[in-house]
Structure 1
């Protein structure tokens, strides 16, 4: 069955309105950063919630709560003010293949980064004198920066995707959606203002991909960066300023309606 441009747009707009509400929050990993008010706490909790978004949503959320407890439910304060002895409470954390080696390094990286910067947004922007203006380059810069420290374990690289390896970068794109989109509907935070919503790339999990293919929004069969760009470019036909708002529609159609 094929759908016309008008049919697809009407469906996406309707489901965007239906699913982009506070009722979406409790059963989604975005609920984790919503536990906080301080910008840096939201950034850090959101980052870990996105990176650990692998598997059943209930399990992901429970694991994130465990991680936050190990960070004294104050992630920014713990990361910037902890003593070496405090790091012992991170030992033994594990979610799938993410373990305490990965956690300890990311805490180390964040401590190093926040000593020099106020917001994690700056990790995606490049040199202030010549800021990066391409979303693909922003994600590649972030990956390279995270693993630029000599202490970086090789094993941790698999937990942060980069377009340079042709990954669709679902989890980082989801994280950026949370931080950047600002439609005042209560789900996404909109606390970063130097990356335009128009530049965001749609997070592509299996549900989003299935629905997008059925609607004719992607032709590419391989799940990679080129597919994520293809989908986003087609979503821009419906809203060039905020294409990733339709992530709600595609995800909701896939998860809630088995479309």
Structure 2
């Protein structure tokens, strides 16, 4: 396929998968349980944090996270007492355990009490969005947490593609009225977003010839970003639907 044909192919696949039916089998269904901005973004952040492995298990465990917070994540983040964290001890999703969950509650409380919420931390037009992810990690861990918990937030400045946070940012920022992404955050442009780079999107991108680097790291993300922005500079991450759908659903 030439570039024009490839763009048309990816546009078609993006439209196919960027549809409310996509929500039914995707972790984005968890923040869709809520209507208040802060509940949506907290539910989205926590769900994205554990979004690796089997999607059915991700969704099951993300729902359990919400249950453990009384299905009122923002209220729990702001108003929990220390003894309320005891019930989180039994939580586990792969290498993310109850102690990590407690740490994330503490980190989110710090973000909302001292940094005016998640959106504000990611809003800084003077640096790239990937650099803002790195700065977010520093702010998140300004309060004492276990060293083991730090690995659950990626750092692009240390070479990570930061797949899960980039997916979370897509959820919060994109606003195409198609019912999947929320478009809640108005101070970040969709043009700044990076495609969540995982095994599915990476392998499909390589098969299509728009990604050459073999590792799914920050350099590969920059290469993929450049290719996708050449197809649509205003909304490059719409192609995440195409790449993921082709890989995970169509086994392209």
Query: When the two structures are superposed, what TM-score results if normalisation uses the length of structure 2?
Result: 0.97
Of 131, 136, 151, 2:130 maps to 136
Gaps in structure 1 of 5+ consecutive residues: none
Q: 1:217 aligns with which of 199, 210, 219?
A: 210
> Size of the alignment, in residue pairs?
252
Equivalent-residue separation in structure 1 for 2:72 and 2:137 (angstroms) = 25
For residue 125 of structure 1, report the CA deviation from its aligned partner. 2.7
Large movers: runs of 4+ above 2 Å = 116-119
Map 1:104-183 → 2, pairs under 5 A: 104-126=102-124, 131-149=125-143, 151-183=144-176
CA distance in structure 2 between the aligned counterparts of 1:210 and 1:89, rounded to whole angstroms:
40
Instruction: Tell me if structure 1 keeps the 8 A contact 2:111–2:139.
Output: no
Matches within 5 A, 1:1-259: 3-126=1-124, 131-149=125-143, 151-259=144-252
Q: What is the Cα deviation at residue 176 of structure 1?
A: 0.4
CA contact (8 A) 2:111 2:140 kept: no
**Is the Cα–Cα contact under 8 Å of residues 132 and 138 in structure 1 kept in the other structure?**
no
The SS at the match of 2:86 is helix
- CA drift at 1:117: 4.4
Secondary structure of the structure 2 residue equivalent to 1:23: helix
C-alpha deviation, 1:119, in angstroms: 3.1
Render the CA deviation track for 1:21-55: whole Å, top value 9, x for unaligned. Answer: 00000100000100000000011100011010011
Please state which structure has a larger fraction of its residues in helix. 2
Q: Is the 8 A contact 1:22 1:186 kept in 2?
A: yes
Q: Distance in 2 between matches of 1:157 and 1:10?
A: 41
| Kept in 2: contact 1:28–1:61 (CA 8 A) | yes
Secondary structure in 1 matching 2:214:
coil
Residue-by-residue CA offset, 1:191-230 (whole Å, 9 max, x unaligned): 0011111111110111111110111111111210010111
Unaligned runs of 5+ residues in structure 2 are none
Q: TM-score, normalised by structure 1?
A: 0.94
State the alpha-carbon separation in 2 of the partners of residues 79 and 101 from structure 1: 15
**RMSD value over aligned CA atoms?**
1.1
**Once structures 1 and 2 are overlaid, which stretch shifts more, 117-126 or 206-215?**
117-126
**Is this contact kept in 1: 2:206–2:212, CA < 8 A?**
yes
Shift of 1:136: 2.0
